[in-house]
Amino acid sequence: MQGMNHVDLRSLFDQQHHASRTQVEVPLVLRRERLLRVQKMLHEHGATLAAAVQADFGVRSPQLTEMADLMVLRTMLSDTLRKLGKWMRANRVWTPLHLLPASARIECQPLGVVGIIAPWNYPIQLALGPAIAALAAGNRVMLKPSELTPHTSAQLAHVIGQFFSPEEFCVVQGDAQVASQFSGLPFDHLVFTGSTAIGRKVAIAAAQHLTPTTLELGGKSPCIISNDCDLELAALRIAHGKLLNAGQTCIAPDYLLLPRGREKAFEQAFRKAVAQLFPSLAGNPDYAAIINQKQFNRLRSLAQQAEAEGAHVQWLDGAETTQPGSAAPGWGDAMQRQMTPALVWNVHSGMAIMREEIFGPLLPVISYDRLDDVIQAINAGERPLALYWFGHDDKLRDSVLRRTVSGGVTVNDTLMHVAHDNLPFGGVGHSGWGAYHGKHGFLRFSHQKSVFLQAKWSPASWLYPPYGAKFERIMTLLKRLT
């Protein structure tokens, strides 16, 4: 459906909308059958999809896509298929004394048509993850993948078209203009994953139809190291979280808060960790390329601006530092767009690298003296999508968790909370709103309908007018009971 115009887009939406209103009840057997089709699709075409991702990035190993995209989806599907029947059951709720003998329950129903605008960084996982939750909830799905991953988008359109009819689940391809038109359709729910700036535009477009949204955005996710931390282990786990997909991960550690005096020790541990994970950088398929030249140049500009304002950029390629504009070492292989990882020291809040989400292999480091200063620094900015704590003092850890607000937290590791199917994944404030994964996704894409079942005899009739002495006695009794 490449190059779809607005009329075709609306026609496709109307087809799904009509189908969702014609078949309001979507039984468990049909929902499971749709999820099993997704499972079969990934089994048969996973390797082809991974090859498409590699073609879009230029350098990104199929193993990375298998681990970060496909494995996540497989575990999500397995968990959903196992628990869906339980999630769908009507949930009986306690009825207060003054309403007895009536009863009440909550029934989950499909919303209708769910639109998904997916990003380019994990183009399979972040396209199909919300779709799995939406299909489990009984909805129809329209997916708009990123135009920055055209091979993956085309392959998704092809394989989804083989397994689903257009009124069930379809893919819309196109540029930013198509995405804008897509976000303006009157969906029953719209999911967007991407930058805060674009998320704001999507929310405005959706508001024209009062379309509820789930926005998975990003921001500056802090990583805090405590004084009692094992630096060797922490550095390895931070390096993995920061350099997975070359830092092009919405929950990657965006900056590091390090106890003053441990700078040299951390630099050595981090350099060792990078060498362990990526013995070589240029040409190493495990170390992903930056998605395109525009993003590569943006990252280079962030580093250059930081250096111009007094920061020290320490490239982890065997050289201590590189002057802006020099060919090598430093920027890495510009032809392959494999950017060398770097620690950025002596940063301050006014620098662009500390204002903007980095989305690349640059890690600013801020030294701190007191944990209170860390809390203050985090709370002075917008609420992050993720927060990471490394340390073994439970009281200090819990103090940080109580006094900061973030979308999610991983303690003594990075990224792993997103892999837990029973934890909701989502942001807060500028890092997004709404959450999915597991039952949380099922509920997000369901209407939770309240059902009150009145008994043949009801004490509520005692409260009917005309009001008098009997009414006053009953109200006095109810005040005592409530």
Q: Which sequence spans correspond to the domains of the chain?
A: 6-217+433-448, 222-424
Q: Cis ω on the peptide bond leading into residue 253 (within 30° of 0)? A: no
**pLDDT at site 409:** 98
**pLDDT at site 17:** 98
In sequence order, the β-bridge partners of residue 93 are 104
**pLDDT at site 330:** 55
List 216, 223, 229, 357, catalytic entry: 216
Q: How far is CA 379 from the centre of its chain?
A: 21
**pLDDT at site 253:** 97
Beta-strand pair 113-117/103-110? unpaired
Q: Domain 6-217+433-448 maps to which CATH number in 2.60.40.10, 2.70.150.10, 3.40.605.10, 3.40.228.10?
A: 3.40.605.10
| Count, residues in the chain | 482
Q: Which of 51, 45, 70 is nearest to 159 (CA)?
A: 45
160 and 170 Cβ atoms separated by less than 8 Å? yes
**Spatial separation of the C-alpha atoms in residues 292 and 395, rounded to whole Å:** 44
**pLDDT at site 352:** 96
Cα 473 to Cα 166, 202, 264, 467, distances in angstroms = 62, 55, 77, 11
How does DSSP classify residue 147? T
Cα 134 to Cα 17, 35, 123, 417, distances in angstroms = 14, 10, 17, 21
**pLDDT at site 460:** 83
List 170, 223, 229, 250, catalytic entry: 250
- 78-82 long-range Cβ contacts below 8 angstroms, 24+ apart: 79/421, 79/438, 80/35, 80/132, 80/133, 80/136, 80/438, 80/442, 81/32, 81/35, 81/36, 81/39
**Spatial separation of the C-alpha atoms in residues 210 and 226, rounded to whole Å:** 45
**pLDDT at site 331:** 59
Per-residue pLDDT of the chain (482 residues; tens, 9 = 90+): 455 666 699 999 999 999 999 999 999 999 999 999 999 999 999 999 999 999 999 999 999 999 999 999 999 999 999 999 999 999 999 999 888 999 999 999 999 999 999 999 999 999 999 999 999 999 999 999 999 999 999 999 999 999 999 999 999 999 999 999 999 999 999 999 999 999 999 999 999 999 999 999 998 999 999 999 999 999 999 999 999 999 999 999 999 999 999 999 999 999 999 999 999 998 999 999 999 999 999 999 999 999 999 999 999 974 333 444 433 445 566 568 999 999 999 999 999 999 999 999 999 999 999 999 999 999 999 999 999 999 999 999 999 999 999 999 999 999 999 999 999 999 999 999 999 999 999 999 999 999 999 999 888 888 889 998 888 988 898 888 77
CATH T-level topology, domain 222-424: Aldehyde Dehydrogenase; Chain A, domain 2 (3.40.309)
Q: Which residues have a Cβ under 8 Å from the Cβ of 321 and sit 6 or more positions away?
A: 312, 313, 314, 315, 330
Query: Which two tokens mark 203?
Result: 């929310």
Is 108 one of the annotated active-site residues of the chain?
no
